[in-house]
Amino acid sequence: MAVIADRCPNIEVTVVDLNETRIAAWNDADLSKLPIYEPGLDEVVARTRGRNLHFSTDVVNAIASADIVFISVNTPTKTKGLGSGEASDLRWVEACARQVAECAKGHTIVVEKSTLPVRTAKTIQVILQAAQKCDSRDQQEKSFVVLSNPEFLAEGTAIKDLISPDRVLIGGEDAKAIKSLSKIYEQWVPKEKILCTNLWSSELSKLTANAFLAQRISSINAVAELCEVTGADVREVAKAIGTDSRIGQRFLNSGPGFGGSCFKKDILNLVYLCKHFGLHEVAQYWQNVVTLNNWQQTRIARLIVEKLFGTVTGKKLAVFGFAFKANTNDTREAPAISIAKDLLDEGAQLAIYDPKVNAKQISLDLNMPASSPPDAKAGPTRSALSGEGSWWSSQNINDAVNGADAVVILTEWSQFKELNWSEIAPLMRKPAWIFDARSVVDPNTVKLAGLKLWRVGDGT
């Protein structure tokens, strides 16, 4: 919405939320306090806020005065009830649709921006139609059209993705409404990149795009494990297959498995949808993409334990990176969560360092309070000796590695590529290991510093 406001000074954009704290944060004069860390977003907000971009909790008036309403709420995977663990929880979408139905005035275009299971637009349409009233002269007081306009941006590159998208997708039946929405994007996106489809194709395309991308990652991670036992190198294999223009170079980085708010959720949604329509083989096919992803995380935790003489109990390990990818503070479904949990179960003492993720968030994700960092000179702590795992958030690299048996790199922050291993090595307990799940280190420098190295997909 900030980018729409930036590119279209003639359009008034109001972002509304019931959560007062969150709206206050979006209105904070200190732009470093915006609720989301996203490169370039602060500059866009600085240019537009108060001009034609507004953040407000006045949901009722914002809906009443809007020509177009974008529904952009959470659709997490259900944790209980029918479809638990697979289907999307649509309670917030429905609540939004009902509120739009009640508060809208005149003709309103309602746009599904949230990623939704296929045919959700129908539900929204039914709710809105029930509210279409007629006055005494039989003239409509309010009317609605529903369009689907899924978002394809990736976190960390969101502003760039929005400014020059590969495509904008608009699904719907009402030509006039489609034209109105298209006109907004046409202010900065070339017209040939704006694709119009029917509602269901648009909804399904979003799920399919994410499923294809996630499938590529599971495929390369499966190959990585094979590389490790055969003497091949997954980076070389990725380069070799990526030069085939039908395959392409992008999205072939083997790592600790995909995280983020979309991939797992959307595939599970697809699995649920397939099962609903009795397509069990198709459901199983997509389910395996998630199964392989979970395995990648489990096996990384296991091999760390194996390489450290079969036990990490009481050992200090430095975890570099907790976000699900670089350039974001988002930890949703981050591979670091399950890998750290497995290591904590084994009794490890984890010094976690991430340049953007705070201790409060890590504590929520691990479902465990932080311990205070042990005094390096005091020897093993009581909890270390008792075999219970513990963790704390390190403020800098040197504190994290001091006395550690291993460094585990789980997010590809650029600063990890520039680490001086010959300075780090003397701080660690020998034999010391570097577990590089993101292929960020230079293997020769690490080995020259006297450190042992495991790299994902490296069988050489």
d(CA 424, CA 435): 14
Alpha carbon 168 to its chain's center: 20
Q: How far apart are CA 222 and CA 220, in angstroms?
A: 5
> Residue 249: which of 258, 237, 264 has the closest Cα?
237
Q: Closest-CB residue for ligand UDX?
A: 260
Q: Distance between CA 268 and CA 25 in Å, rounded?
A: 33
Is residue 259 involved in binding ligand UDX (CB under 6 A)? yes
Q: Is residue 262 annotated as a catalytic residue, yes or no?
A: yes
From the list 114, 253, 331, 393, which residue makes contact with ligand UDX (rule: CB under 6 A)?
253
Nearer to ligand UDX, 54 or 264 (CB): 264
Using the rule CB under 6 A, which residue among 68, 153, 196, 368 binds ligand UDX?
Answer: 153
For residue 320, which of 342, 303, 335 has the smallest C-alpha distance? 335
List own/partner pairs for 423-428 with CB under 8 A and 24 or more apart: 424/397, 424/398, 424/449, 424/451, 425/449, 425/450, 425/451, 427/398, 427/401, 427/402, 427/403, 428/401, 428/402, 428/403, 428/404
Contact of 106 with 63, CB cutoff 8 Å: no
Is residue 289 close enough to count as binding ligand UDX by CB under 6 A?
Answer: no
Q: Which residues of 235-264 are buried (b: 16+ CB within 10 A; e: fewer)?
A: bebbeebeeeeeeeeebbbbbbbbbbbbbb
Considering the rule CB under 6 A, would residue 325 count as an interface residue with ligand UDX?
A: yes
Interface region with ligand UDX, contact rule CB under 6 A, candidates 2-10, 125-133, 146-154, 362-370: 146-154
Q: Supply the minimum distance, in Å, between the C-beta of residue 333 and ligand UDX.
A: 8
Quote the DSSP letter at residue 430.
Answer: S
Among 172, 260, 403, 457, binds ligand UDX (CB under 6 A): 260
> Where are the alpha helices (H) located in 104-195, listed in sequence order?
120-131, 158-163, 175-185
Minimum distance, C-beta of residue 159 to ligand UDX, in the bound complex (Å): 13
Burial pattern 342-368, b for ≥16 Cβ within 10 A else e, equals bbbebbbbbbbbbbbbebebbeebbee
Rounded to the nearest whole angstrom, what is the least distance from the CB of residue 255 to ligand UDX in the complex?
Answer: 4
**Residue among 38, 86, 112, 151 flagged as catalytic:** 151
Quote the least distance from Cβ 430 to ligand UDX, whole Å: 31
The three-state secondary structure class of 68 is strand
Question: Which one of 206, 264, 265, 341 is the catalytic residue?
Answer: 206
Least distance in Å: CB of 437 to ligand UDX?
Answer: 9
Told to judge if 8 belongs to the known catalytic residues of this protein, a careful annotator would answer no
Sign of the alpha-carbon dihedral angle for 264, 270, 273, 277: negative
How far is Cα 381 from Cα 378, in angstroms, rounded to an integer? 8
Task: Give me 82's structure tokens.
Answer: 């029918």
Q: Does 349 bind ligand UDX (CB under 6 A)?
A: no
Among positions 203-222, residues that touch ligand UDX (CB under 6 A) are: 210, 213, 217
Nearer to ligand UDX, 157 or 445 (CB): 157
- Output the smallest distance, CB 166 to ligand UDX, in A: 9
Nearest to ligand UDX of 155, 203 (CB atom): 155
Q: Of 120-128, 149-157, 171-179, 401-409, which segment contacts ligand UDX by CB under 6 A? A: 149-157
Per 3-state DSSP, the chain is made up of helix, strand and coil in percentages (nearest 5) of 45, 15, 40
Q: Name the residue nearer to ligand UDX (CB basis): 108 or 361.
A: 361
Distance CA 175, CA 443 (A): 57
Whether 207 and 118 have beta carbons less than 8 Å apart is answered as: yes
CB of 222 to ligand UDX, least distance (A): 13
Task: Identify which of residues 87 and 217 has a Cβ nearer to ligand UDX in the complex.
Answer: 217
**Residue 202's closest CA among 165, 232, 172, 171?**
171
Residue 154 near ligand UDX by CB under 6 A: yes
Q: Which of 26, 144, 258, 421 binds ligand UDX (CB under 6 A)?
A: 258
- 83 or 156, CB closer to ligand UDX? 156
Q: Does 251 bind ligand UDX (CB under 6 A)?
A: yes
Is 206 designated active site?
Answer: yes
- Cβ closest to ligand UDX, residue 108 vs residue 338: 338
Give 125 or 157: the residue with its C-beta nearer to ligand UDX. Answer: 157
What are the residues facing 194 on neighbouring strands? 168
Under the binding rule (CB under 6 A), the answer on residue 152 touching ligand UDX is yes
Closest CB 69 distance from ligand UDX, rounded Å: 21
Q: How far apart are CA 372 and CA 374, in angstroms?
A: 6
Which uninterrupted H or E stretch holds 297? helix 280-307
**Region from 53-61, 65-73, 255-263, 447-455 binding ligand UDX, contact rule CB under 6 A:** 255-263
Count of residues binding ligand UDX (CB under 6 A)?
19
Out of 151, 203, 354, 405, the only residue in the binding site for ligand UDX (CB under 6 A) is 151
| Active site (catalytic) residues | 151, 206, 262
Residues that bind ligand UDX (CB under 6 A): 151-155, 210, 213, 217, 251-253, 255, 258-260, 262-263, 324-325
